[in-house]
Every structure is written in C-alpha cells, then in structure tokens.
Structure 1
Amino acid sequence: FKQYSDHLLDYLNQSYFTPLSYKDQLISLEQAQILGSIRRIIQNMNLIIRVTDKGNNFYIGSVGQFEQKAENFFSDTNAFIELSYNPFNEILDKDGIPVRPIESTIHASTTKISKFLDKILRPKFYDKCKDTTIIDGASLITELSKYNKKGLLKSTTLFCTFDIRNLYTMLPQEETLDILMAFLHAHDYKIGNSLPFLDVQLTNNNGILSTCVYHKPAAEPCVTPFTSDHPRHVFSNIIKTFIERATRYSSTFEAFNYERRSIKLMLLYNEYPSTFIEN
C-alpha cells in the first residue's frame, strides 16, 4: 500500500504541478475561449443543455420549451408533484413523503445478479410468450404468414398500428388494459389495408399478404461513407445487411428489385464505387 500511495502522489504532482508546455498552454487557452463563448450564447439566447438518457447525446433547446415539455409530461402521467423542500432531509420511511427515489444501478454491485437472473428467467418467458411476442420485422412476417396459412387473413382484414408517446408504465395490469382501450377509442390511431410496422410495410391485397421494406418519410439516405476511416469489411457488411433485409422482407420479386435499386442509389450517394457494390 505504501508503494501504491507514493506512486499515486508522484502521479498527482506530475499531473497538476508540472508546468504546461507552450503548446498545451495555447490549446488550454483556446478551449477556455470556446467554453466562454458557448456559455455566453447559452445565457444570451436563454438556452438549456441536458444529456439525454440514451445514446450519450445532448438536448439543446430553449428554457421555455423545455419547461413546457416537463409540465406536459407531469400533467400527462399525473405521477409527479413539485416539491417545495428536499425530502431527503427527512426520514424516507416516514408516512406521507410523496417521493419515490430512482437510482441508476447500471454499475451497481447487483448488476451481475440481475444478469444472472435474466439468463435464467428469459428463456422461460420466451417459452410462455413466444406465440405473442414480436421482436423484429422478420418475426412479424413469420407470424403473419402462419396467420395467413390458417385462412384467417380475409380481404376485409385491416391492420392497426399506433405510437406510444409516453413510456411511463408503473401501472397495474388491469388499469393498463383499461387505459389502452380508452386510448384506442379516444385518440388517433391508424387502421387500413396497408400500414407500416417497425421497418416492414404490410399490405392486405384482397386476402393475400404482401410485405416489403418500409422507409420513414423523414429518413435520410445516409450510411457510413465509403471515404471514412473504417476497415473494408465494415462496408461489405453494410451492403450485406441491407440486401439480407430486402430478401427477407420482400414478398415479391418486384418489391425486392425496387429495394435493391434504392440500396444501390443510397450507396452511390455515400460514395461507394459501383464495382465494390456489384462485387
């Protein structure tokens, strides 16, 4: 321990007390100026910056819009109230404290226990729920094909999809089902002979199931550019993935051929050579 302590002390002295080189001083000064400029912009334009809970990205927006979104979320869920004091200053198990602490346990000591239990329980869950569980577009097509082979897909069969805007799910099961029924009756949802689900376009052609790849209208034709600094196999895998998806999702040769042309145009747009695409 004494050796480790001395080594750590030497490292701290070297890191924090050794004078910076002239180059490092210039870099530090430039970064400080950039940081000061960002702070002034945030203050002058009344902006707010927050780290998103997924993807390690940043949310940048006006303070007013951010506060309005927070108020809308609170009113929609009806699960939170604004506190005028810090509840942790009191005993947490005292009756009447309106707070439910949420802790991040990604790196907690119980994480491995959770993974161990998940490894045991997940196969049992899949075994019981596999007939009603959709994990991706391919599994959806497989289940719909079974449905069609049973003669259940009629010319009058309609598809229904809807988006969940709020993932707050701390509700009893019966109450959740009641809310779902109320949602279907009161809110906007899509019903028709042809609808997208995930990345699959489903179409009922007079009782005949037709599928193809679905692209969101706002989707940009962007993939990893061929000029980027990646190993060659990365670009090959990108092409392979798109072609495999087109093959699995296309119920007709025309649909596959259309998707194949779209893939080629997208790759050309991202500077993939024609010879590399064809090979």
Structure 2
Amino acid sequence: MTPIPLIDQIRALRKLKMVQSIRKKFKKYWNTIINQQYKSGVLHIGSAADYERKAVEYRRTTGAYQVLTSNPFDDTICTVTRLLNQLKSLNRIREWHRKGTPLRPILNTIHAATKQISQFLDRLIRSLFDRFVRQTTFVDGADLLDQLQKYIQKGYFKSLTLLITFDITNLYTMLQQEESLALLAEFIREHNCVRVNGLSIDTIIELARV
C-alpha cells in the first residue's frame, strides 16, 4: 500500500477536527446556522437568534430593507418581460471579514430574472464610461503601478504625497436607487449623449430601475 503523504495526513486531521467541532456545537446548540462566507470556503457557525438579531439591527440602521409579506416575483417577471419585448422591437437585443462577523446582505443575481437586462446595460454603458473616465480609473494593480510611474516621471510625486485607500461599507444602502439613477442620467447628459446605441436616456433609466 502506498503511504499517505504527510501533507495529506495533516489536511485529513484538520478536516476531522473541523467535523468533530461542528458535531459538538450541533449537540450543544440545536438552533444553529452554518453559513459559508462570501467568496471563501470558510464556514461560520452561529445561532439563529444571533443572525436574526443582526438582521433586525441592519435593517434598522440602514433603513434600506423591509420584510416582505408577499412574493413580488410574478410582478417582476411581468415587468422584465414587457421591457424585453420593447427591446426586441428595437432590434437591440437577442433572446439570450470582519470583527464581530457583521451581517451584510449579498444578493446573488446570477439566475435572476433581470440578468439579461443587467448584462445589456453593462455592455451599453461600459464603453461610454471607459471612453470618458479611463484617464482617472485604474483597471488593476498593474495599471495602478504604470500610472504611478507616469505620475512620478511628470514630477508630481512629492515627499508629502499621500496614498489613501478606503473601503465603502453598505454601498447599495448608502446610495439609494433613485439617486443612482439620477447620477446615471446626469453622466449620460453631461457627455452630450441624447441617445446611446439608439436608446433614449429615459429608456435606459427605466431599464436600470428594474
């Protein structure tokens, strides 16, 4: 029999300890929730009461969410279908971690009814956005270093120059939907775009509102 590599033995022991720990917690706390952390394989184990408390606190402090008493899915489907039919008539679209483990809602829209509208608007607006703000936008880390090098070569980089990073929390609750739509319309008008690929600003805003 081929001996098991040491690294695999260590990994197996870690998995065993994790499973044993989970079983122990389930025996002690029957009202428990296991949640996989966003964009990682880390599991967080917490009580259902704690999750509910944090959810209530989040809704209270942000004022951005409310508990639904009915399912709005049917109304959303009707709205999406109507808007997609409008687009087809224009021949423009085909039919195709932090301390205290804070609670932050993540909306998974991969299979959402509005996915195609979102993708369509992304293609429509991204080229416009890139055209006008490319000089002040960093695409990735390599682009940042390249732009920083040019900044230094021009003599702008001084001993007192500050490099500042920041993290925006609750972006989708701090910037309300109607305010975001107003900014989008202002951006398009500011660059003298009455229509974008044949679509009026009002149509774009109505699609984005969905």
Q: Which has the higher strand share?
A: 1
Category of TM-score, reference length = shorter chain: 0.3 to 0.5
**TM-score w.r.t. structure 2 length?**
0.44
**TM-score w.r.t. structure 1 length?**
0.35
